[in-house]
Amino acid sequence: MVDARRSRVVAPRFVGQRRLVEAEHVVEAVGPGQLLVEVRANAICGTDRDLWENGWPVTPGHEAAGVVVGVGPGTITAPGTLGVVYLMDFCGTCRSCRLGATNQCLAKRGDFGFTRDGGYGPLAVVSESAFFPIDHDIDPAEATLLLDVMGTSGHAIARARLIRPDIESVVIAGAGPIGLGLAAMVRILLGSATTVIVGDVDTARLAIAETLGARVADLRSTTMADAMRASGSDGGADAAFDSAGRTVTREGLLEALGKRGVLVCVGHGEGLTLDVSRDLIGPERAVLGSEYFRFDALPANLALLRAHRAVLATIITHRFPRSRLGEALATFFAGGTGKVIVEA
């Protein structure tokens, strides 16, 4: 077991202009209710781009799996336990948390990899309440799929089903890891008979979407609405998911959406202008936001990962050692990849 007292390690520092430096870094002492986690794998996310380009004061990385190597007072997790780290250090006592909506905590204590040191370093201190244990038969790299790929995507689908429980057709804008996760999770949660169309301009990522059973639309030469019509589905899509975060993709999804359809915005970024009468009232459509996922979704998603591991694992296309983090980031942001994992 690693000494849980304040210690120094070498960790990557994001200094801006896509530059990283290895620097001595202080790992704070493990306090009451906290765990010291030795990070084994961290998945790169699109939100890391801004941190890589502009610099960041803490160690980034918010899709981490690792092993507990130190424990603070009042904890029950045994050293040696493998698990994943939930992004949000939720309070557990506010109105949202009492209802299970930990992704909407009203007194959040921090965000892993954003306001607190994250998974690109060798060690991280996390609240035990934000650590989800799993068995060692799951590879740590594959365990990261429980977070953004499965968790965020599954939550977005659950949000859509609140409005439209009879979903038979889906359009997805963006074939990055979240879009691919959505394609996979729609198949898993809604069944193979559901029409799934994924649109993007990255042909390599569209090819991955095809392996997940989705029809694809190259948005350089077609639109989501045209792709939906070509699929033979009657009346437009029942649900649309935007993982790209761009105004033009959201507008394209609205055009592809049928009556009583729901647009779920998953990707942060640009805006959307609506004609309320034409786009919402007349067709009785809804536009929803979907932020991360609830901590209590993890047990069910772990069962899904075990049951559909071969399919979900295809979303991981590249693995790099932590010593090649810069190369891993460059590879991911050049496009043409699925999920890129950085491993210890």
Q: How many domains would you assign to the chain?
A: 2
Query: Do 187 and 154 sit in the same domain of this protein?
Result: yes
Regarding beta strands 286-289 and 257-265, do their DSSP bridges make them parallel or antiparallel, or are they unpaired?
parallel
| Listed residues 256, 274, 289: the one ending a domain | 289
Report the distance separating Cα 210 and Cα 249, nearest Å.
20
Q: Which tokens go with 309?
A: 């591991």
What does residue 297 show for φ and ψ, rounded to 5 degrees?
A: -80, -15
Instruction: Examine residue 185 and state whether it is found in any structural domain, yes or no.
Output: yes
What pLDDT is recorded for position 233?
77
Instruction: Examine residue 107 and state whether it is found in any structural domain, yes or no.
Output: yes
Report the distance separating Cα 177 and Cα 338, nearest Å.
6
pTM of the model: 0.96
**What is the CATH number for 227?**
3.40.50.720
Q: Kindly tell me the burial class for residue 18, based on how many C-beta atoms sit within 10 Å of its own C-beta (0-12, 13-18, 19 or more).
A: middle
CA–chain centroid gap for 216, Å, is 21
Report the distance separating Cα 299 and Cα 301, nearest Å.
5
Query: Do 197 and 309 sit in the same domain of this protein?
Result: no
Reading the chain (344 residues) residue by residue, the pLDDT tens digits are: 666 666 789 999 999 999 999 999 999 899 999 999 999 999 999 999 999 999 999 999 999 999 999 999 999 999 999 999 999 999 999 999 999 999 999 999 999 999 999 999 999 999 999 999 999 999 999 999 999 999 999 999 999 999 999 999 999 999 999 999 999 999 999 999 999 999 999 999 999 999 999 999 999 999 999 999 999 877 899 999 999 999 999 999 999 999 999 999 999 999 999 999 999 999 999 999 999 999 999 999 999 999 999 999 999 999 999 999 999 999 999 999 999 999 99
Query: Do 183 and 304 sit in the same domain of this protein?
Result: no
Nearest to 90 by CA among 127, 36, 54: 127
Residue 221 neighbours by CB under 8 Å, 6+ apart: none
3-class SS string, 203-272 = HHHHHHHHHCCCEEEECCCCCHHHHHHHCCCCCCEEEEEECCCCHHHHHHHHHHEEEEEEEEECCCCCCC
**What is the CATH number for 24?**
3.90.180.10
How long is the chain?
A: 344
| Listed residues 289, 313, 328: the one ending a domain | 289
Q: Which tokens go with 305?
A: 């990962």
Q: Give kind and range of the element (H or E) at residue 158.
A: helix 153-163
